[in-house]
Structure 1
Protein backbone atom coordinates (compact mmCIF):
# COMPACT_ATOMS: atom_id res chain seq x y z
CA UNK A 1 0.00 0.00 0.00
CA UNK A 2 1.13 3.54 -0.72
CA UNK A 3 3.08 5.52 1.82
CA UNK A 4 2.63 8.66 -0.25
CA UNK A 5 5.83 10.11 1.16
CA UNK A 6 7.78 9.95 -2.10
CA UNK A 7 5.19 12.04 -3.89
CA UNK A 8 4.50 14.79 -1.36
CA UNK A 9 5.80 17.81 -3.31
CA UNK A 10 4.75 21.41 -3.24
CA UNK A 11 6.74 22.70 -6.24
CA UNK A 12 4.71 21.21 -9.09
CA UNK A 13 2.92 23.70 -11.40
CA UNK A 14 -0.36 21.79 -11.03
CA UNK A 15 -1.16 19.01 -8.59
CA UNK A 16 -2.71 16.19 -10.60
CA UNK A 17 -2.46 13.63 -7.82
CA UNK A 18 -5.44 11.38 -7.16
CA UNK A 19 -7.08 10.89 -3.77
CA UNK A 20 -6.77 7.53 -2.03
CA UNK A 21 -10.34 6.72 -3.04
CA UNK A 22 -9.58 7.65 -6.66
CA UNK A 23 -6.44 5.52 -6.58
CA UNK A 24 -8.43 2.54 -5.36
CA UNK A 25 -11.00 3.08 -8.12
CA UNK A 26 -8.30 3.54 -10.77
CA UNK A 27 -6.48 0.41 -9.67
CA UNK A 28 -9.66 -1.69 -9.80
CA UNK A 29 -10.62 -0.22 -13.18
CA UNK A 30 -7.24 -0.88 -14.79
CA UNK A 31 -6.99 -4.41 -13.38
CA UNK A 32 -10.46 -5.16 -14.77
CA UNK A 33 -9.47 -3.60 -18.09
CA UNK A 34 -6.49 -5.93 -18.50
CA UNK A 35 -8.55 -8.96 -17.57
CA UNK A 36 -11.35 -8.00 -19.97
CA UNK A 37 -8.97 -7.36 -22.87
CA UNK A 38 -7.31 -10.75 -22.49
CA UNK A 39 -10.65 -12.53 -22.10
CA UNK A 40 -12.18 -10.77 -25.12
CA UNK A 41 -9.27 -11.85 -27.29
CA UNK A 42 -9.48 -15.45 -26.14
CA UNK A 43 -5.83 -15.16 -25.11
CA UNK A 44 -4.02 -17.18 -22.48
CA UNK A 45 -2.21 -14.27 -20.89
CA UNK A 46 -0.03 -11.26 -21.60
CA UNK A 47 3.46 -10.30 -22.73
CA UNK A 48 5.19 -7.02 -22.00
CA UNK A 49 8.62 -5.54 -22.35
CA UNK A 50 10.31 -4.74 -19.05
CA UNK A 51 12.67 -1.77 -19.10
CA UNK A 52 13.16 -1.25 -15.38
CA UNK A 53 11.26 2.04 -15.65
CA UNK A 54 8.16 3.12 -13.80
CA UNK A 55 5.70 2.63 -16.68
CA UNK A 56 6.50 -1.00 -17.50
CA UNK A 57 6.85 -1.77 -13.80
CA UNK A 58 3.38 -0.39 -13.08
CA UNK A 59 1.80 -2.30 -15.97
CA UNK A 60 3.52 -5.50 -14.82
CA UNK A 61 2.02 -5.10 -11.34
CA UNK A 62 -1.45 -4.49 -12.78
CA UNK A 63 -1.13 -7.48 -15.12
CA UNK A 64 -0.16 -9.84 -12.33
CA UNK A 65 -3.07 -8.62 -10.22
CA UNK A 66 -5.44 -9.10 -13.16
CA UNK A 67 -4.20 -12.39 -14.57
CA UNK A 68 -1.94 -14.03 -12.01
CA UNK A 69 1.83 -14.36 -12.26
CA UNK A 70 1.66 -17.55 -14.34
CA UNK A 71 -0.18 -15.72 -17.14
CA UNK A 72 2.34 -12.86 -17.49
CA UNK A 73 5.59 -13.21 -19.47
CA UNK A 74 8.18 -10.44 -19.46
CA UNK A 75 10.90 -9.65 -21.97
CA UNK A 76 14.03 -7.79 -20.90
CA UNK A 77 15.70 -6.56 -24.10
CA UNK A 78 18.98 -4.74 -23.49
CA UNK A 79 21.36 -3.31 -26.06
CA UNK A 80 24.77 -1.71 -25.81
CA UNK A 81 23.22 1.74 -25.25
CA UNK A 82 21.15 0.74 -22.21
CA UNK A 83 22.19 1.46 -18.65
CA UNK A 84 22.98 -1.94 -17.06
CA UNK A 85 21.27 -0.78 -13.86
CA UNK A 86 18.00 -0.39 -15.77
CA UNK A 87 18.22 -3.95 -17.05
CA UNK A 88 19.00 -5.18 -13.54
CA UNK A 89 15.91 -3.32 -12.30
CA UNK A 90 13.82 -4.95 -15.05
CA UNK A 91 14.91 -8.40 -13.90
CA UNK A 92 14.31 -7.40 -10.28
CA UNK A 93 10.72 -6.43 -11.10
CA UNK A 94 10.09 -9.80 -12.79
CA UNK A 95 11.56 -11.68 -9.85
CA UNK A 96 9.64 -9.66 -7.26
CA UNK A 97 6.40 -10.40 -9.11
CA UNK A 98 7.27 -14.04 -9.72
CA UNK A 99 6.68 -13.91 -13.47
CA UNK A 100 8.55 -15.80 -16.18
CA UNK A 101 10.94 -13.61 -18.14
CA UNK A 102 13.55 -13.90 -20.85
CA UNK A 103 16.57 -11.69 -21.46
CA UNK A 104 17.10 -11.07 -25.17
CA UNK A 105 20.15 -9.07 -26.24
CA UNK A 106 18.97 -7.08 -29.27
CA UNK A 107 22.33 -5.59 -30.36
CA UNK A 108 23.16 -8.44 -32.79
CA UNK A 109 19.76 -8.00 -34.41
CA UNK A 110 20.12 -4.23 -34.66
CA UNK A 111 23.60 -4.58 -36.16
CA UNK A 112 22.12 -6.48 -39.09
CA UNK A 113 20.05 -3.39 -39.94
CA UNK A 114 22.96 -1.02 -39.46
CA UNK A 115 25.25 -3.11 -41.67
CA UNK A 116 22.57 -3.35 -44.36
CA UNK A 117 22.22 0.47 -44.55
CA UNK A 118 25.44 1.92 -43.11
CA UNK A 119 24.70 5.51 -44.17
CA UNK A 120 21.40 5.47 -42.26
CA UNK A 121 23.22 4.08 -39.23
CA UNK A 122 24.92 7.47 -38.79
CA UNK A 123 21.59 8.95 -37.65
CA UNK A 124 21.17 8.61 -33.87
CA UNK A 125 17.38 8.92 -33.90
CA UNK A 126 17.02 6.41 -36.73
CA UNK A 127 19.17 3.82 -34.97
CA UNK A 128 17.35 4.41 -31.69
CA UNK A 129 14.03 3.78 -33.39
CA UNK A 130 15.36 0.54 -34.89
CA UNK A 131 16.09 -0.74 -31.39
CA UNK A 132 12.60 0.16 -30.19
CA UNK A 133 10.94 -1.51 -33.19
CA UNK A 134 12.99 -4.67 -32.70
CA UNK A 135 11.61 -4.87 -29.16
CA UNK A 136 8.07 -4.59 -30.54
CA UNK A 137 8.71 -7.45 -32.98
CA UNK A 138 10.10 -9.61 -30.17
CA UNK A 139 7.04 -8.88 -28.00
CA UNK A 140 4.71 -10.02 -30.77
CA UNK A 141 6.87 -13.01 -31.68
CA UNK A 142 6.50 -14.32 -28.14
CA UNK A 143 2.86 -13.27 -27.81
CA UNK A 144 1.85 -15.04 -31.04
CA UNK A 145 3.70 -18.20 -30.04
CA UNK A 146 2.04 -18.32 -26.61
CA UNK A 147 -1.42 -16.96 -27.55
CA UNK A 148 -1.02 -13.84 -25.43
CA UNK A 149 -1.75 -10.13 -25.80
CA UNK A 150 0.99 -7.52 -25.88
CA UNK A 151 0.47 -4.96 -23.13
CA UNK A 152 1.59 -1.41 -23.84
CA UNK A 153 3.39 0.65 -21.23
CA UNK A 154 2.72 4.14 -22.61
CA UNK A 155 1.09 6.88 -20.52
CA UNK A 156 -1.07 9.86 -21.49
CA UNK A 157 1.81 12.34 -21.37
CA UNK A 158 3.74 10.32 -23.95
CA UNK A 159 0.67 9.80 -26.13
CA UNK A 160 -0.19 13.50 -26.34
CA UNK A 161 3.37 14.59 -27.10
CA UNK A 162 4.15 11.73 -29.47
CA UNK A 163 7.02 10.68 -27.24
CA UNK A 164 7.24 7.16 -28.56
CA UNK A 165 8.41 5.36 -31.67
CA UNK A 166 5.79 4.95 -34.37
CA UNK A 167 5.19 1.21 -34.88
CA UNK A 168 7.54 0.63 -31.97
CA UNK A 169 6.71 0.92 -28.28
CA UNK A 170 3.10 1.75 -29.15
CA UNK A 171 2.72 -1.30 -31.39
CA UNK A 172 0.62 -3.05 -28.75
CA UNK A 173 -2.80 -4.60 -28.18
CA UNK A 174 -3.87 -2.29 -25.36
CA UNK A 175 -2.53 0.45 -23.10
CA UNK A 176 -3.53 -0.07 -19.45
CA UNK A 177 -2.05 3.23 -18.20
CA UNK A 178 -2.79 5.19 -21.36
CA UNK A 179 -5.17 7.62 -19.66
CA UNK A 180 -2.83 8.57 -16.80
CA UNK A 181 -0.40 11.48 -16.81
CA UNK A 182 3.16 10.60 -15.76
CA UNK A 183 2.65 12.18 -12.34
CA UNK A 184 -0.35 9.91 -11.79
CA UNK A 185 1.55 6.82 -12.97
CA UNK A 186 4.17 7.47 -10.31
CA UNK A 187 1.45 7.86 -7.72
CA UNK A 188 -0.32 4.68 -8.78
CA UNK A 189 2.97 2.79 -8.72
CA UNK A 190 3.54 3.93 -5.15
CA UNK A 191 -0.01 2.86 -4.32
CA UNK A 192 0.69 -0.59 -5.80
CA UNK A 193 3.74 -1.02 -3.58
CA UNK A 194 6.44 -0.51 -6.20
CA UNK A 195 9.83 0.08 -4.51
CA UNK A 196 10.55 3.77 -3.93
CA UNK A 197 13.75 3.82 -5.99
CA UNK A 198 11.79 2.68 -9.05
CA UNK A 199 8.95 5.13 -8.43
CA UNK A 200 11.35 8.09 -8.41
CA UNK A 201 13.70 6.83 -11.13
CA UNK A 202 14.73 9.21 -13.95
CA UNK A 203 12.71 8.22 -17.06
CA UNK A 204 14.63 7.12 -20.15
CA UNK A 205 13.54 5.49 -23.39
CA UNK A 206 16.97 3.87 -23.67
CA UNK A 207 17.40 4.87 -27.30
CA UNK A 208 21.05 5.97 -26.97
CA UNK A 209 23.69 6.33 -24.30
CA UNK A 210 22.78 8.91 -21.66
CA UNK A 211 19.35 9.64 -23.11
CA UNK A 212 16.66 10.89 -20.72
CA UNK A 213 13.05 11.77 -21.53
CA UNK A 214 13.03 15.16 -19.84
CA UNK A 215 16.28 16.36 -21.42
CA UNK A 216 15.10 15.35 -24.87
CA UNK A 217 11.71 17.04 -24.47
CA UNK A 218 13.22 20.15 -22.93
CA UNK A 219 11.12 20.25 -19.74
CA UNK A 220 10.35 18.11 -16.73
CA UNK A 221 7.34 15.79 -16.57
CA UNK A 222 5.53 17.73 -13.84
CA UNK A 223 5.56 20.87 -15.97
CA UNK A 224 4.67 18.88 -19.08
CA UNK A 225 1.72 17.21 -17.34
CA UNK A 226 0.42 20.54 -16.08
CA UNK A 227 0.55 22.15 -19.53
CA UNK A 228 -1.09 19.14 -21.14
CA UNK A 229 -3.90 19.11 -18.58
CA UNK A 230 -4.61 22.85 -18.77
CA UNK A 231 -3.70 23.81 -22.33
CA UNK A 232 -4.09 20.71 -24.53
CA UNK A 233 -6.78 18.77 -22.67
CA UNK A 234 -8.30 21.78 -20.92
CA UNK A 235 -8.32 24.17 -23.87
CA UNK A 236 -6.93 27.19 -22.01
CA UNK A 237 -5.13 29.68 -24.24
CA UNK A 238 -1.36 29.97 -24.27
CA UNK A 239 -1.38 33.25 -22.34
CA UNK A 240 -3.90 32.00 -19.79
CA UNK A 241 -1.91 28.79 -19.32
CA UNK A 242 1.28 30.76 -18.66
CA UNK A 243 -0.52 32.86 -16.06
CA UNK A 244 -2.35 29.96 -14.41
CA UNK A 245 0.73 27.77 -14.10
CA UNK A 246 3.40 30.48 -13.83
CA UNK A 247 5.44 28.88 -16.61
CA UNK A 248 7.34 30.52 -19.48
CA UNK A 249 5.54 30.98 -22.78
CA UNK A 250 8.21 28.93 -24.57
CA UNK A 251 7.31 25.91 -22.45
CA UNK A 252 3.66 26.09 -23.50
CA UNK A 253 4.61 26.62 -27.13
CA UNK A 254 7.00 23.67 -26.97
CA UNK A 255 4.25 21.37 -25.67
CA UNK A 256 1.81 22.63 -28.30
CA UNK A 257 4.42 21.96 -31.00
CA UNK A 258 4.97 18.41 -29.71
CA UNK A 259 1.23 17.77 -29.65
CA UNK A 260 0.53 19.11 -33.14
CA UNK A 261 3.57 17.59 -34.85
CA UNK A 262 2.77 14.13 -33.47
CA UNK A 263 -0.88 14.05 -34.59
CA UNK A 264 -0.01 11.47 -37.26
CA UNK A 265 1.05 9.03 -34.53
CA UNK A 266 -2.42 9.12 -32.96
CA UNK A 267 -4.29 8.45 -36.23
CA UNK A 268 -4.58 5.70 -38.77
CA UNK A 269 -2.29 6.15 -41.80
CA UNK A 270 -4.05 8.46 -44.28
CA UNK A 271 -5.60 7.13 -47.47
CA UNK A 272 -7.13 8.96 -50.45
CA UNK A 273 -10.80 9.91 -50.30
CA UNK A 274 -13.22 7.35 -51.68
CA UNK A 275 -13.88 8.22 -55.34
CA UNK A 276 -17.23 6.45 -55.27
CA UNK A 277 -16.39 4.32 -58.29
Structure 2
Protein backbone atom coordinates (compact mmCIF):
# COMPACT_ATOMS: atom_id res chain seq x y z
CA UNK A 1 0.00 0.00 0.00
CA UNK A 2 2.81 2.43 0.87
CA UNK A 3 4.81 1.74 -2.28
CA UNK A 4 1.68 2.01 -4.43
CA UNK A 5 0.82 5.36 -2.85
CA UNK A 6 4.33 6.67 -3.47
CA UNK A 7 4.21 5.50 -7.08
CA UNK A 8 0.91 7.35 -7.50
CA UNK A 9 2.63 10.53 -6.38
CA UNK A 10 1.28 10.83 -2.84
CA UNK A 11 3.74 13.31 -1.34
CA UNK A 12 2.39 12.97 2.21
CA UNK A 13 3.02 9.22 2.31
CA UNK A 14 6.51 9.74 0.91
CA UNK A 15 7.23 12.43 3.51
CA UNK A 16 5.99 10.14 6.30
CA UNK A 17 8.08 7.18 5.23
CA UNK A 18 11.18 9.38 4.88
CA UNK A 19 10.63 10.62 8.41
CA UNK A 20 10.29 7.04 9.68
CA UNK A 21 13.49 5.80 8.03
CA UNK A 22 15.42 8.98 8.86
CA UNK A 23 16.44 9.70 5.28
CA UNK A 24 15.11 12.80 3.53
CA UNK A 25 16.00 11.37 0.12
CA UNK A 26 14.68 7.83 0.58
CA UNK A 27 12.28 6.46 -2.03
CA UNK A 28 10.88 2.92 -1.56
CA UNK A 29 11.47 0.77 -4.61
CA UNK A 30 9.33 -2.26 -3.76
CA UNK A 31 7.58 -3.70 -0.68
CA UNK A 32 10.40 -6.11 0.20
CA UNK A 33 13.01 -3.36 0.06
CA UNK A 34 10.87 -1.15 2.28
CA UNK A 35 10.31 -4.01 4.71
CA UNK A 36 14.04 -4.64 4.89
CA UNK A 37 14.54 -0.97 5.75
CA UNK A 38 12.05 -0.68 8.61
CA UNK A 39 11.56 -4.22 9.97
CA UNK A 40 14.18 -6.26 11.83
CA UNK A 41 13.20 -9.82 12.74
CA UNK A 42 15.13 -12.16 14.99
CA UNK A 43 14.58 -15.85 15.67
CA UNK A 44 15.88 -16.50 19.20
CA UNK A 45 16.40 -20.22 19.38
CA UNK A 46 17.46 -22.44 22.25
CA UNK A 47 18.35 -26.09 22.63
CA UNK A 48 14.60 -26.63 23.05
CA UNK A 49 13.74 -25.11 19.67
CA UNK A 50 12.98 -27.28 16.67
CA UNK A 51 14.73 -27.01 13.33
CA UNK A 52 11.34 -26.81 11.62
CA UNK A 53 10.32 -23.64 13.48
CA UNK A 54 13.65 -21.98 12.73
CA UNK A 55 13.28 -22.84 9.05
CA UNK A 56 9.73 -21.46 8.92
CA UNK A 57 10.88 -18.18 10.49
CA UNK A 58 13.71 -17.81 7.97
CA UNK A 59 11.44 -18.64 5.03
CA UNK A 60 8.84 -16.06 6.07
CA UNK A 61 11.50 -13.39 6.64
CA UNK A 62 12.93 -14.06 3.19
CA UNK A 63 9.55 -13.78 1.49
CA UNK A 64 8.54 -10.52 3.17
CA UNK A 65 12.04 -9.06 2.96
CA UNK A 66 12.74 -8.30 6.64
CA UNK A 67 16.28 -7.77 7.94
CA UNK A 68 16.52 -11.15 9.66
CA UNK A 69 18.85 -12.84 12.12
CA UNK A 70 18.70 -16.34 13.54
CA UNK A 71 20.52 -16.51 16.88
CA UNK A 72 20.97 -18.96 19.74
CA UNK A 73 20.49 -17.61 23.28
CA UNK A 74 21.58 -20.66 25.29
CA UNK A 75 24.72 -18.83 26.47
CA UNK A 76 22.64 -16.10 28.09
CA UNK A 77 20.31 -18.66 29.71
CA UNK A 78 23.26 -20.61 31.11
CA UNK A 79 24.75 -17.40 32.52
CA UNK A 80 21.54 -16.54 34.40
CA UNK A 81 21.17 -20.07 35.75
CA UNK A 82 24.87 -20.02 36.71
CA UNK A 83 24.22 -17.06 39.01
CA UNK A 84 21.38 -18.95 40.69
CA UNK A 85 23.49 -22.08 41.07
CA UNK A 86 26.36 -20.08 42.54
CA UNK A 87 24.11 -18.61 45.23
CA UNK A 88 21.96 -21.66 46.08
CA UNK A 89 24.28 -24.55 45.19
CA UNK A 90 21.23 -26.10 43.50
CA UNK A 91 20.51 -26.87 39.84
CA UNK A 92 16.87 -26.70 38.69
CA UNK A 93 15.74 -29.37 36.25
CA UNK A 94 12.96 -29.76 33.73
CA UNK A 95 10.05 -32.08 34.51
CA UNK A 96 11.26 -34.67 32.00
CA UNK A 97 14.61 -34.67 33.81
CA UNK A 98 13.01 -35.32 37.19
CA UNK A 99 12.41 -31.73 38.26
CA UNK A 100 9.42 -30.38 40.15
CA UNK A 101 6.66 -28.27 38.52
CA UNK A 102 8.22 -25.14 40.05
CA UNK A 103 11.62 -25.93 38.55
CA UNK A 104 10.07 -26.76 35.20
CA UNK A 105 8.14 -23.48 35.04
CA UNK A 106 11.08 -21.38 36.22
CA UNK A 107 13.34 -22.79 33.51
CA UNK A 108 10.74 -21.96 30.87
CA UNK A 109 10.26 -18.44 32.19
CA UNK A 110 13.99 -17.67 32.09
CA UNK A 111 14.04 -18.37 28.37
CA UNK A 112 10.94 -16.27 27.69
CA UNK A 113 12.10 -13.28 29.73
CA UNK A 114 15.56 -13.24 28.20
CA UNK A 115 13.97 -12.95 24.78
CA UNK A 116 12.39 -9.67 25.86
CA UNK A 117 15.75 -8.33 27.09
CA UNK A 118 17.48 -9.33 23.85
CA UNK A 119 14.66 -7.90 21.72
CA UNK A 120 15.06 -4.49 23.35
CA UNK A 121 18.85 -4.62 22.98
CA UNK A 122 18.51 -5.30 19.27
CA UNK A 123 15.82 -2.62 18.89
CA UNK A 124 18.08 0.02 20.40
CA UNK A 125 21.25 -0.88 18.52
CA UNK A 126 20.40 -2.50 15.16
CA UNK A 127 20.09 0.84 13.35
CA UNK A 128 23.46 1.78 14.83
CA UNK A 129 24.82 -1.49 13.43
CA UNK A 130 23.40 -0.58 10.02
CA UNK A 131 24.84 2.92 10.12
CA UNK A 132 21.50 4.69 10.48
CA UNK A 133 20.18 7.12 13.11
CA UNK A 134 17.45 6.43 15.67
CA UNK A 135 16.05 3.29 17.24
CA UNK A 136 13.29 0.76 16.70
CA UNK A 137 10.05 -0.17 18.44
CA UNK A 138 9.69 -3.71 19.77
CA UNK A 139 6.63 -5.56 18.46
CA UNK A 140 4.83 -8.05 20.69
CA UNK A 141 3.36 -11.30 19.44
CA UNK A 142 0.86 -12.50 22.07
CA UNK A 143 -2.78 -12.88 21.04
CA UNK A 144 -6.04 -12.32 22.95
CA UNK A 145 -6.54 -15.99 23.81
CA UNK A 146 -3.11 -16.39 25.40
CA UNK A 147 -3.65 -13.23 27.42
CA UNK A 148 -7.13 -14.27 28.58
CA UNK A 149 -5.95 -17.72 29.67
CA UNK A 150 -2.76 -16.25 31.17
CA UNK A 151 -0.68 -18.52 28.94
CA UNK A 152 2.28 -16.17 28.89
CA UNK A 153 5.15 -15.23 31.15
CA UNK A 154 5.00 -11.86 32.83
CA UNK A 155 7.59 -9.58 31.19
CA UNK A 156 8.54 -12.06 28.50
CA UNK A 157 8.54 -11.64 24.73
CA UNK A 158 4.86 -10.67 24.96
CA UNK A 159 6.01 -7.43 26.59
CA UNK A 160 6.84 -4.84 23.95
CA UNK A 161 6.18 -1.29 22.79
CA UNK A 162 3.14 -2.23 20.75
CA UNK A 163 1.43 -5.52 19.92
CA UNK A 164 -0.19 -5.61 16.44
CA UNK A 165 -2.14 -8.79 17.24
CA UNK A 166 -2.82 -8.22 20.94
CA UNK A 167 -6.51 -7.54 20.33
CA UNK A 168 -7.12 -10.50 18.03
CA UNK A 169 -8.13 -14.06 18.92
CA UNK A 170 -6.11 -17.02 17.62
CA UNK A 171 -8.83 -18.26 15.27
CA UNK A 172 -9.42 -14.79 13.82
CA UNK A 173 -5.68 -14.36 13.38
CA UNK A 174 -5.48 -17.62 11.43
CA UNK A 175 -8.29 -16.43 9.17
CA UNK A 176 -6.38 -13.22 8.50
CA UNK A 177 -3.21 -15.13 7.67
CA UNK A 178 -5.15 -17.33 5.24
CA UNK A 179 -6.49 -14.21 3.55
CA UNK A 180 -3.05 -12.57 3.48
CA UNK A 181 -1.47 -15.72 2.02
CA UNK A 182 -3.99 -15.80 -0.85
CA UNK A 183 -3.86 -12.06 -1.54
CA UNK A 184 -0.08 -11.63 -1.48
CA UNK A 185 1.14 -15.13 -2.31
CA UNK A 186 3.19 -15.57 0.89
CA UNK A 187 3.56 -19.35 0.72
CA UNK A 188 5.61 -19.50 3.94
CA UNK A 189 2.40 -18.86 5.86
CA UNK A 190 1.10 -22.31 4.84
CA UNK A 191 3.67 -24.09 6.98
CA UNK A 192 3.07 -21.71 9.87
CA UNK A 193 -0.68 -22.26 9.76
CA UNK A 194 -0.27 -26.03 9.65
CA UNK A 195 2.26 -26.19 12.48
CA UNK A 196 0.94 -27.15 15.95
CA UNK A 197 1.08 -24.17 18.35
CA UNK A 198 3.95 -24.63 20.79
CA UNK A 199 6.06 -22.47 23.09
CA UNK A 200 9.12 -24.73 22.59
CA UNK A 201 10.40 -24.03 26.09
CA UNK A 202 10.74 -27.64 27.26
CA UNK A 203 13.34 -30.14 26.03
CA UNK A 204 12.73 -31.88 22.72
CA UNK A 205 12.30 -35.65 22.70
CA UNK A 206 14.37 -37.37 20.02
CA UNK A 207 14.50 -34.04 18.20
CA UNK A 208 10.72 -33.76 18.13
CA UNK A 209 8.32 -31.41 19.92
CA UNK A 210 7.15 -32.60 23.32
CA UNK A 211 5.26 -29.46 24.35
CA UNK A 212 2.00 -28.29 22.77
CA UNK A 213 0.09 -25.15 23.76
CA UNK A 214 -3.34 -26.76 23.90
CA UNK A 215 -2.07 -29.61 26.08
CA UNK A 216 -0.37 -27.14 28.44
CA UNK A 217 -3.48 -24.96 28.64
CA UNK A 218 -5.90 -27.85 29.14
CA UNK A 219 -8.21 -26.45 26.45
CA UNK A 220 -8.22 -25.85 22.72
CA UNK A 221 -7.88 -22.42 21.13
CA UNK A 222 -11.34 -22.90 19.67
CA UNK A 223 -12.79 -23.47 23.14
CA UNK A 224 -10.80 -20.55 24.51
CA UNK A 225 -12.20 -18.24 21.85
CA UNK A 226 -15.74 -19.22 22.86
CA UNK A 227 -14.95 -18.64 26.54
CA UNK A 228 -13.54 -15.21 25.74
CA UNK A 229 -16.54 -14.05 23.72
CA UNK A 230 -19.05 -15.25 26.31
CA UNK A 231 -17.07 -13.68 29.15
CA UNK A 232 -16.69 -10.28 27.50
CA UNK A 233 -19.43 -9.80 24.92
CA UNK A 234 -22.17 -11.66 26.83
CA UNK A 235 -21.00 -10.62 30.33
CA UNK A 236 -21.01 -14.27 31.43
CA UNK A 237 -19.65 -15.46 34.74
CA UNK A 238 -18.96 -19.15 35.47
CA UNK A 239 -22.58 -20.19 36.04
CA UNK A 240 -24.06 -18.22 33.14
CA UNK A 241 -21.35 -19.53 30.82
CA UNK A 242 -22.08 -23.10 31.85
CA UNK A 243 -25.82 -22.64 31.28
CA UNK A 244 -25.11 -21.39 27.75
CA UNK A 245 -22.49 -23.96 26.80
CA UNK A 246 -24.39 -26.97 28.13
CA UNK A 247 -26.85 -26.39 25.26
CA UNK A 248 -24.26 -25.23 22.69
CA UNK A 249 -21.79 -28.09 23.10
CA UNK A 250 -23.82 -31.19 22.25
CA UNK A 251 -20.62 -33.22 21.95
CA UNK A 252 -19.98 -32.88 25.71
CA UNK A 253 -21.87 -34.15 28.74
CA UNK A 254 -22.99 -31.55 31.31
CA UNK A 255 -20.21 -32.77 33.62
CA UNK A 256 -17.60 -32.29 30.89
CA UNK A 257 -18.88 -28.79 30.14
CA UNK A 258 -18.80 -27.98 33.86
CA UNK A 259 -15.20 -29.18 34.16
CA UNK A 260 -14.12 -27.11 31.16
CA UNK A 261 -15.81 -23.94 32.44
CA UNK A 262 -14.36 -24.39 35.93
CA UNK A 263 -10.87 -24.98 34.57
CA UNK A 264 -11.08 -21.87 32.42
CA UNK A 265 -12.25 -19.64 35.25
CA UNK A 266 -9.65 -20.97 37.66
CA UNK A 267 -6.91 -20.16 35.17
CA UNK A 268 -8.53 -16.82 34.38
CA UNK A 269 -8.63 -15.81 38.05
CA UNK A 270 -5.11 -16.96 38.86
CA UNK A 271 -3.57 -15.17 35.86
CA UNK A 272 -5.78 -12.08 35.71
CA UNK A 273 -3.02 -9.94 37.24
CA UNK A 274 -1.05 -10.34 34.01
CA UNK A 275 -3.66 -8.27 32.20
CA UNK A 276 -2.50 -5.15 34.02
CA UNK A 277 0.83 -5.10 32.16
CA UNK A 278 -0.29 -6.07 28.66
CA UNK A 279 1.38 -4.31 25.77
CA UNK A 280 -0.84 -1.65 24.08
CA UNK A 281 -2.73 -3.10 21.11
CA UNK A 282 -5.19 -2.19 18.39
CA UNK A 283 -8.62 -3.33 19.61
CA UNK A 284 -10.50 -4.42 16.53
CA UNK A 285 -12.93 -6.62 18.45
CA UNK A 286 -15.00 -6.28 21.61
CA UNK A 287 -13.74 -9.52 23.20
CA UNK A 288 -10.39 -8.07 24.29
CA UNK A 289 -9.36 -8.76 27.92
CA UNK A 290 -6.90 -5.84 28.02
CA UNK A 291 -7.46 -4.64 31.58
CA UNK A 292 -5.65 -1.30 31.48
CA UNK A 293 -7.31 0.28 28.49
CA UNK A 294 -10.29 -1.80 27.48
CA UNK A 295 -11.70 -4.19 30.08
CA UNK A 296 -12.12 -2.53 33.47
CA UNK A 297 -13.12 -5.57 35.50
CA UNK A 298 -11.27 -6.47 38.72
CA UNK A 299 -7.93 -8.18 38.27
CA UNK A 300 -8.01 -10.02 41.63
CA UNK A 301 -10.53 -12.84 41.97
CA UNK A 302 -11.05 -15.71 44.39
CA UNK A 303 -9.99 -18.59 42.16
CA UNK A 304 -12.27 -21.06 43.99
CA UNK A 305 -15.44 -19.28 42.76
CA UNK A 306 -17.37 -20.99 45.59
CA UNK A 307 -20.89 -19.78 44.87
CA UNK A 308 -20.60 -20.01 41.07
CA UNK A 309 -19.03 -23.48 41.04
CA UNK A 310 -21.61 -24.74 43.56
CA UNK A 311 -24.37 -23.46 41.28
CA UNK A 312 -22.80 -25.29 38.35
CA UNK A 313 -22.58 -28.53 40.35
CA UNK A 314 -26.23 -28.21 41.34
CA UNK A 315 -27.25 -27.69 37.73
CA UNK A 316 -25.18 -30.68 36.56
CA UNK A 317 -26.93 -32.78 39.19
CA UNK A 318 -30.36 -31.61 37.99
CA UNK A 319 -29.52 -32.33 34.34
CA UNK A 320 -28.23 -35.78 35.24
CA UNK A 321 -31.47 -36.62 37.02
CA UNK A 322 -33.60 -35.53 34.07
CA UNK A 323 -34.67 -38.09 31.51
CA UNK A 324 -32.60 -37.99 28.26
CA UNK A 325 -35.73 -37.30 26.17
CA UNK A 326 -36.64 -34.24 28.19
CA UNK A 327 -35.60 -31.01 26.46
CA UNK A 328 -33.32 -28.77 28.53
CA UNK A 329 -35.36 -25.63 28.13
CA UNK A 330 -36.40 -25.02 31.71
CA UNK A 331 -34.76 -22.07 33.39
CA UNK A 332 -31.93 -23.23 35.65
CA UNK A 333 -32.42 -22.83 39.35
CA UNK A 334 -29.87 -20.44 40.74
CA UNK A 335 -28.53 -20.77 44.25
CA UNK A 336 -29.40 -17.91 46.52
CA UNK A 337 -26.58 -15.45 46.69
CA UNK A 338 -25.20 -14.59 50.14
CA UNK A 339 -26.90 -11.60 51.64
CA UNK A 340 -24.95 -8.48 52.44
CA UNK A 341 -25.91 -5.63 54.71
CA UNK A 342 -26.73 -2.53 52.64
CA UNK A 343 -24.08 0.13 52.92
CA UNK A 344 -26.69 2.66 54.04
CA UNK A 345 -27.61 0.54 57.07
CA UNK A 346 -24.14 0.79 58.56
CA UNK A 347 -24.14 4.59 58.42
CA UNK A 348 -25.34 6.23 61.60
CA UNK A 349 -28.21 8.65 61.27
CA UNK A 350 -26.10 11.10 63.22
- Rate the CA distance shift 1:110–1:44 in 2: closer, same or farther, 3 A: farther
CA distance in 2, matches of 1:98, 1:268: 32
Q: Which has the higher mean CA deviation after the structures are superposed, 243-252 or 182-191?
A: 243-252
Matches within 5 A, 1:101-120: 101-118=68-85, 119=90
Matches within 5 A, 1:1-277: 44=21, 68-118=35-85, 119=90, 121-122=92-93, 123-145=103-125, 146=127, 147-193=135-181, 194=186, 195-209=189-203, 210-236=210-236, 237-246=240-249, 247=252, 248-267=257-276
CA distance in 2, matches of 1:92, 1:220: 27
CA distance in 1, matches of 2:139, 2:277: 20
Asked if the contact 2:21–2:37 (Cα under 8 Å) also holds between the matched residues in 1, the reply is: no
Unaligned runs of 5+ in 1: 1-38, 46-63, 270-277
Secondary structure of the corresponding residue to residue 171 of structure 1: coil
Structure exhibiting the larger radius of gyration computed from Cα positions: 2
Unaligned runs of 5+ in 2: 1-15, 23-30, 94-102, 128-134, 204-209, 279-350
Distance apart, 1:241 and its partner CA: 3.1
Q: Could you tell me the TM-score, scaled by structure 2's length? A: 0.56
CA distance in 1, matches of 2:232, 2:65: 39
CA distance in 2, matches of 1:86, 1:185: 19
Asked if the contact 1:231–1:241 (Cα under 8 Å) also holds between the matched residues in 2, the reply is: no
What's the counterpart of residue 347 of structure 2?
A: none
- Rate the CA distance shift 1:268–1:134 in 2: closer, same or farther, 3 A: closer
CA distance in 1, matches of 2:225, 2:194: 16
Q: Which of structures 1 and 2 has the larger relative contact order (alpha carbons within 8 angstroms, sep 6+)?
A: 1
Number of residue pairs matched by the alignment: 210
Secondary structure of the corresponding residue to residue 45 of structure 2: coil
- Moved segments of 4+, more than 3 Å: 42-45
Distance apart, 1:44 and its partner CA: 4.6
Distance apart, 1:43 and its partner CA: 6.0
CA distance in 2, matches of 1:187, 1:103: 27
